[in-house]
Chain A
Amino acid sequence: MAEITYLEAIRQGLWEEMERDERVFILGEDVGAYGGAFKVTDGFLKRFGESRVIDTPISEAAIVGAAAGAAHMGLRPVAEMQFIDFISCAYDMLTNYVATARYRAGLATPIVVRGPCGGFVRGGPFHSQNPEAAFFHTPGLKIVAPATARDAKGLIKAAIRDDDPVLYLEHKWLYRRIKESLPEGEEILTPIGRARVAREGRDLSIVTYGAMVWKSLEAAEQLDKDGVSVEVLDLRTLLPLDDAAIVATVKKTNKLLIVHEDTRTGGLAGEIAARINEQAFEWLDGPIMRVTAHDVPLPYAPTLEDFVLPQTEDVVKAARWLAAY
């Protein structure tokens, strides 16, 4: 078993799907000759050629729209956003055209739109965004956000095979920070719509995703020393939410802390809290609490970015407070 990074896992997943299915192709800015701004598609042009690895103009709306058209015709496009922040330029295509195609017109649009999201990298307001909430509100899209190398690989493969449009949010802070041994020769597929218990615990549940899975695990480790046993649920898929897994962990620990890197207002935590109120209210021994980013655009200076974003220390404090409730 070879140790691979989160980034390499995405690369492998893409590569295997390209090898497996000739309908799969990649399009995006600088994905070919350069191999992608973060080198996710490094070497793909050489292996698969210009007709399956397409360097596009700087036109996100056209990239997503063209992917949709090709998908209608039976291809399986994987569109890269150089930074996920630029997906806003394709918002109309995704929310109006792509998301509604099956429902209103019976058109299958099996596309994947992937790109680096997230902060902790001093990228400033336009290279650090977490756009999931903007799309979470749109029926017809699926959204996945892997935290581990295994899921990075398993979810890109599952997303490509899925018959619906999938936004694949890869966290750039994890790209080279996370390493994992993955078995060679075994096909890794992570089912879309299914969360994962990242750590078992008794006293309190943290429901989270993306980079915050790691910060939550770090917090759980610290709390363990104080005798607080924390369960961490890694959502993996954000849309559709895995209600069963969220309800199950709440029924087990009776306390819920939701942690996300995205800003608070209108973030996913609000929806998760509402669902627990509806489905497991009587199982709760305390209020459902949230640890999120502050409601401001993400600033550049390290002092400011660190303040705005939720940190391990915040999760520790919040969990300790809730455990004691």
Chain B
Amino acid sequence: MTSRIVPATQPGHPAIPAEVERSQLLEIYYYLRLTRTLEERLTALYRQTKVIGGLFRSLGQEGESVASAYALERGRHRDLLSPLIRNLGSMLVMGATPLQILRQYMAKVEGPTRGRELNIHFNDLELGYVGQISHLGDMIPVMAGITLTFKLRREPRVGLVYIGDGGTSTGTFHEGLNFAAVQRCPLVVIGEYNHWAYSTPPAKQFAVTHLAEKAQGYGIPTVTVDGNDVLAVYAAAKHAVERARRGKGVHFIEVKTYRRKGHAEHDDQHYVPEDELERWAKENDPIDRYAKQLIENEWVEAAELTAMDQRIRDEVDRATDACVDEPLPAPETALGGVYADPADTEKLWFRLL
């Protein structure tokens, strides 16, 4: 990374890092806080049984989701990412809205999949995100194909895809990664070492120490970073993205972080040592750390952040109010869209009686 010479705001206070502007620091904070506030709202709605299926939180991991996505070029038909269930933050960065997310979780007719799919499984190829399916690992080969297309068309675009520590045990992860490496696809892979795959710890999942070692086996350059250091993730992602854009192929970033909630809301985490949860919450919350960094370095005023927190709460309130009472999709719409042609699937005989 090249450094930019910017004088510190005050002696003793480091300068804003080279790769970011002050306004961007605030924008990153906005997405971090929005992710957490929105998920807290989803938890409340889940408890009211308004969120119908499961709810998967990214508490404690918002930093790596937001900071990695923030390194992409955003806008219509620019870079493109594929998130997992714990990467809500990355989708918000790409332009998914709280209203869409809330509607999707509550299976509303106006939601992005009109009630067909759950949690953040939805796409906007123009804005730059393609939703996952539940089967872990499947999005790695798909993103290899998407980024292969960027390469074949000589478009200066980059793809980014997430994989959990558990997900790296799937066959599709390995096949997709190797394929992308051989084809030198402009793809950045974020390996999320969050210490758990449901109840399974890393020691039962793989025999290497770092996820990065797996990618190295395919000839892919890697870096392992503190996933709860927002700006460190951002810097690593920025480097990898620019490298991919220059035609240098796949890059793998391992982020060390921690899943502070259960696998999903129903999971009481009895298998997690309690002090571990407390320690990560107290000492290593990515948003707390980031806010502290911004304030202590005097890059922003504390009051700016408090005002933004309030703005975000209002935004999430408004989005909730706008959709919570919306209807679910009409039953018969279930029959549309399996194929382009025919547009509708046949209604079965016993429904015509």
- Chain A residues packing against B (C-beta within 8 Å): 29-30, 33-34, 37, 55-59, 61, 82-83, 85-86, 88-89, 122-127, 264, 289, 291-292, 294-297, 299-308, 310, 314, 317-318, 321
Q: Which residue of B lies closest to A59 (CB)?
A: B169
A125 touches B353 (CB 8 A): no
A34 touches B206 (CB 8 A): no
B171 touches A318 (CB 8 A): no
B333 touches A304 (CB 8 A): yes
User: A100 to nearest B CB, angstroms?
Assistant: 20
User: B154 to nearest A CB, angstroms?
Assistant: 35
> A58's contact among B118, B136, B350, by CB below 8 Å, is which?
B136
A300 touches B204 (CB 8 A): no
Q: Which residue of A lies closest to B197 (CB)?
A: A58
Report the Cα distance A34→B200, complex, angstroms: 8
Q: Which residue of B lies closest to A257 (CB)?
A: B350
Residue-wise interface mask of B (161-185) relative to A, using a CB-CB cutoff of 8 A (1 in contact, 0 not): 0000011011110000000000000
Report the Cα distance A158→B30, complex, angstroms: 58
**CB-defined contacts of A289 to chain B, threshold 8 Å:** 349-350
> B118's contact among A89, A295, A300, A303, by CB below 8 Å, is which?
A300
Question: B193-243: which have CB < 8 Å to A?
Answer: 197-200, 204-206
B350 touches A291 (CB 8 A): yes
> B345's contact among A86, A89, A294, by CB below 8 Å, is which?
A294
User: A89 to nearest B CB, angstroms?
Assistant: 7
Is there a chain A Cβ closer than 8 Å to B338's Cβ? yes
Main SS class of interface, A = loop
Q: Give 8 pairs: A residue, B residue, CB < 8 Å, sorted on A.
A: A58-B166, A58-B200, A124-B118, A125-B133, A292-B348, A299-B117, A301-B115, A305-B334
B115 touches A303 (CB 8 A): yes
Report the Cα distance A7→B197, complex, angstroms: 24
Report the Cα distance A294→B337, complex, angstroms: 13
Main SS class of interface, B = loop
Report the Cα distance A44→B127, complex, angstroms: 48
Report the Cα distance A291→B328, complex, angstroms: 25
> B116's contact among A58, A86, A304, by CB below 8 Å, is which?
A304
> B53's contact among A34, A85, A122, A295, by CB below 8 Å, is which?
A122
Q: Which residue of A lies closest to B338 (CB)?
A: A296
Q: Which residue of A lies closest to B331 (CB)?
A: A307
Report the Cα distance A138→B120, complex, angstroms: 35
Report the Cα distance A232→B105, complex, angstroms: 38
Report the Cα distance A127→B113, complex, angstroms: 17
A57 touches B135 (CB 8 A): no
Report the Cα distance A318→B171, complex, angstroms: 44
A307 touches B345 (CB 8 A): no
> B332's contact among A297, A307, A314, by CB below 8 Å, is which?
A307
**CB-defined contacts of B115 to chain A, threshold 8 Å:** 299-301, 303-304
Q: Which residue of B lies closest to A56 (CB)?
A: B204
Given contacts A123-B53, A300-B107, A301-B116, contact A89 B135 (CB under 8 A): yes
B345 touches A296 (CB 8 A): yes
User: A295 to nearest B CB, angstroms?
Assistant: 5
Given contacts A89-B170, A300-B118, contact A30 B205 (CB under 8 A): no
Report the Cα distance A306→B115, complex, angstroms: 12
B135 touches A86 (CB 8 A): yes
User: A250 to nearest B CB, angstroms?
Assistant: 20
User: B66 to nearest A CB, angstroms?
Assistant: 25
**CB-defined contacts of B170 to chain A, threshold 8 Å:** 58-59, 89
**CB-defined contacts of B134 to chain A, threshold 8 Å:** 83, 85, 124, 126-127
Q: Quick one: which of B107, B135, B170, B350 has the most chain A CB within 10 A? A: B350
User: B350 to nearest A CB, angstroms?
Assistant: 4
A308 touches B117 (CB 8 A): no
Q: Quick one: which of A30, A127, A297 has the most chain B CB within 10 A? A: A30
User: A297 to nearest B CB, angstroms?
Assistant: 7
Is there a chain A Cβ closer than 8 Å to B279's Cβ? no
A304 touches B334 (CB 8 A): yes
B334 touches A299 (CB 8 A): yes
Is there a chain A Cβ closer than 8 Å to B153's Cβ? no
User: A205 to nearest B CB, angstroms?
Assistant: 16
Residue-wise interface mask of B (262-294) relative to A, using a CB-CB cutoff of 8 A (1 in contact, 0 not): 000000000100000000000000000000000
Report the Cα distance A303→B314, complex, angstroms: 31
Is there a chain A Cβ closer than 8 Å to B145's Cβ? no
Report the Cα distance A276→B252, complex, angstroms: 58
User: B214 to nearest A CB, angstroms?
Assistant: 12
Report the Cα distance A299→B109, complex, angstroms: 12
**CB-defined contacts of B169 to chain A, threshold 8 Å:** 57-59
User: B206 to nearest A CB, angstroms?
Assistant: 7
Report the Cα distance A24→B243, complex, angstroms: 52
Report the Cα distance A29→B109, complex, angstroms: 35
Question: B325-353: which have CB < 8 Å to A?
Answer: 328-335, 338, 345-351, 353
User: B344 to nearest A CB, angstroms?
Assistant: 10
B135 touches A302 (CB 8 A): no
Given contacts A33-B271, A55-B204, A300-B53, contact A308 B197 (CB under 8 A): no
**CB-defined contacts of B348 to chain A, threshold 8 Å:** 264, 291-292, 294
Report the Cα distance A302→B353, complex, angstroms: 23
Is there a chain A Cβ closer than 8 Å to B52's Cβ? yes
**CB-defined contacts of A122 to chain B, threshold 8 Å:** 52-53
User: B148 to nearest A CB, angstroms?
Assistant: 23
